[in-house]
Structure 1
């Protein structure tokens, strides 16, 4: 078995490659800027030839869709056709951008393909520590700015997503979808309090309106995508992501990592 990992140097791709290698499974790490390594291959959503070369000789695919687009299907659709007959485990989201039918089509299309699956994780714990506006705000200003109010999310460690992906890629049986969360739901304010407690550095949550957030995001993102992200904050504010699931435990046999343990390991 050989698994192509698109987004192979990303938050879920890296730990997935580690898990698969530990199981003796060959991996092919796909990215726009591959390392000088025989396991790495160039993959660019704007270059169909690179996609076909990346697929050559692989049995299964971990698919990370193009980032920052409201309709991935013009790029993903041809790739799915080229990957026909292979098991595909695709990264999705527990929530959907409003007014983005292409994202809904992406999820439905893959879930309907025999032997394929969509992972639907909630927000990543790595948003607080890596290259992300939330982490930048914590480092630079000691604050997290959102329009989520006291709405909660079931934050999940990307390594737990990777563990479920490894199962879905290699198991004899695979579900159409996996809704993934961590063990508890926390608001940004509660998360900020935990970070303050563990690091000893004050971190606060500053709430703003959805309109204010959309204008803030549109300074760096396309207006439609910025509006969609702001609307997702409203969805969180209204309780749309206040849930946890047992999927990680059910699939891997161990509980998902807690937010407190993650922050202690990464920032403590």
Structure 2
């Protein structure tokens, strides 16, 4: 059976994809800078060949959105090397709104490289992850009881990382997903205030959403070490939600899997029961 390579195989989506592939008895290789089956660094092309050796399908992501990085030298080159090494299926983790993004956007560059690669491809464009509240940048705010983001009363259909992983695993193993671009969202749009209220109810303690100025958001994240250009990009995305330009609900999960997307309420209930917000 052909080996599947999962970049970022220990990360938020990667480890969930790997779990599904292993459960289906698919040979899978995890690649990351550390803790993976093989060392892989997108900034170091000398690490690519070993990771790609004997691989038939690859889950790709572009983790670095900084403007001072030569993105043309990264994903397009990796895609070309993967195809030359015999890979015949690529699944790319992109993001909501990239179809309308400027041609210089790192994820737009990655999408174009995949779509023109000459082998089977699938692109995933998820909305904001539900797991951002429990596994990454929004978790400290939830634990402190004050989630400070420039989103106002704007609404967005948070998507569960479990759904993203299930779509990715299917796309890596099933021919019918070739050439598809899946917009992945939850089943309904909610505000950050409503999300905080649901977490409060599930955990039994108060979590509030506080709308802050975009400048304050950028200053805070720059102060804790996030590159200023990345902080500004994140701020712009959050302000788009506040301004009513959050993504519309999509049927991408159901179209890919044949069942509805997971509800945010179910994510909250399970995450609280698992103790992640203790």
TM-score relative to the length of structure 1: 0.91
Map Cα deviations across residues 123-169 of structure 1 (whole Å, 9 max, x no partner): 11111111x22111111x20111111111111111110011111211
Matched-pair contact (CA < 8 Å) for 2:79–2:113: no
Question: What SS class does the counterpart of residue 83 from structure 1 fall into?
Answer: helix
Rounded to whole Å, the distance in 2 between the matches of 1:213 and 1:165 is: 32
How many Å apart are 1:172 and its aligned residue? 1.6
Rounded to whole Å, the distance in 2 between the matches of 1:264 and 1:111 is: 38
Partner of 1:19: 20
Partner of 1:167: 170
How many Å apart are 1:46 and its aligned residue? 2.4
Rounded to whole Å, the distance in 1 between the matches of 2:249 and 2:116 is: 25
Q: Which of the residues 52, 55, 61 maps onto 1:55?
A: 52
Map Cα deviations across residues 101-123 of structure 1 (whole Å, 9 max, x no partner): 33322223223434112110011
Matched-pair contact (CA < 8 Å) for 2:76–2:109: no
The answer as to 2:236 corresponding to 1:247 is no
Partner of 1:31: 32
Shifted more, 222-231 versus 194-203: the winner is: 222-231
Rounded to whole Å, the distance in 1 between the matches of 2:4 and 2:60 is: 10
Query: In angstroms, what is the RMSD of aligned CA positions?
Result: 1.8
Q: Which of the residues 126, 131, 138 maps onto 1:126?
A: 131
In the alignment, structure 2 segments of 5+ residues that lack a partner are 274-278
Rounded to whole Å, the distance in 2 between the matches of 1:257 and 1:223 is: 34
Q: Which of the residues 68, 91, 94 maps onto 1:92?
A: 94
How many Å apart are 1:175 and its aligned residue? 3.0
Q: Which of the residues 214, 219, 232 maps onto 1:215?
A: 219
Rounded to whole Å, the distance in 2 between the matches of 1:260 and 1:65 is: 29
Partner of 1:192: 196
In the alignment, structure 1 segments of 5+ residues that lack a partner are none
Question: What SS class does the counterpart of residue 133 from structure 1 fall into?
Answer: coil
TM-score relative to the length of structure 2: 0.88
How many Å apart are 1:223 and its aligned residue? 1.6
Map Cα deviations across residues 168-193 of structure 1 (whole Å, 9 max, x no partner): 11112223311101111111101001
How many Å apart are 1:27 and its aligned residue? 0.3
How many Å apart are 1:23 and its aligned residue? 2.0
Q: What number of residue pairs does the alignment pair up?
A: 262
Q: 1:91 to 1:242 in 2, by over 3 A?
A: closer
